[in-house]
């Protein structure tokens, strides 16, 4: 009977030691996981800042492209307007030449 009690106590002590070792191991893993979690949170924050910076840079790039396209359109319009003005000027010159010709060959001569 005493031997049975001693045997049971040894088994309980062994189970206690095993659970104690497992508990220590789990606490260590928890501590490592908590540290990794904090590192990941910092990394996420840094990546979110980088994303915001890239979005801002992309917005500025798109704006620059839009400005370039707008300038090109304005340049094309200016060229078209210049062409129209020169055509109007040549039409006026033609009209003036006709008037001079008509005045020079009038009925009074």
Within a domain: 79? no
- Give 43-70 pLDDT, tens digit per residue: 999 999 999 999 888 777 777 778 888 8
Joined tokens for residue 66: 């839009």
Asked whether the predicted pLDDT for residue 15 surpasses 50, the reply is: yes
Structure tokens at 3: 């031997």
Query: What's the domain count of the chain?
Result: 1
The answer to whether residue 105 sits within a structural domain is no
Does 26 fall in a domain?
A: yes
Tell me if 58 is assigned to some domain: yes
pLDDT the model gives residue 109: 47
Task: Measure the CA–CA gap between 82 and 85, rounded to whole angstroms.
Answer: 5
> Rounded CA gap, 4 and 16, in Å?
18
Q: What is the pTM of this model?
A: 0.50
Range of the domain at 47: 1-70
On whether residue 94 sits in a domain, the answer given is no
Who has greater pLDDT, 103 or 26? 26
- Residue 25 confidence (pLDDT): 98
Helix, strand, coil share (%) of the chain residues, nearest 5: 95, 0, 5
CA gap 11, 35 in Å, rounded: 36
Residue 108 lies in a domain: no
State the average pLDDT over residues 6-25: 97
What's the pLDDT at 7? 95
Q: What is the mean pLDDT of residues 90-101?
A: 76
Match 């340049």 to its residue by tokens: 75
Higher-confidence residue of 99 and 35: namely: 35
Q: Looking at residues 12-40, what average pLDDT do you find? A: 97
């Amino acid at each position: 009977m005493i031997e049975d009690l001693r045997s049971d106590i040894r088994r309980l002590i062994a189970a206690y030691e095993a659970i104690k070792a497992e508990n220590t191991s789990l606490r260590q893993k928890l501590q490592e996981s908590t540290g990794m979690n904090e590192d990941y949170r910092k990394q996420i924050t840094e990546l979110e800042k980088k994303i915001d910076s890239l979005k801002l840079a992309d917005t500025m790039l798109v704006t620059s492209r839009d400005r370039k396209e707008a300038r090109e359109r304005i340049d094309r319009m200016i060229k078209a307007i210049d062409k129209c003005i020169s055509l109007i000027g040549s039409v006026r010159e033609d009209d003036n030449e006709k008037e001079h010709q008509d005045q020079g060959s009038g009925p009074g001569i």
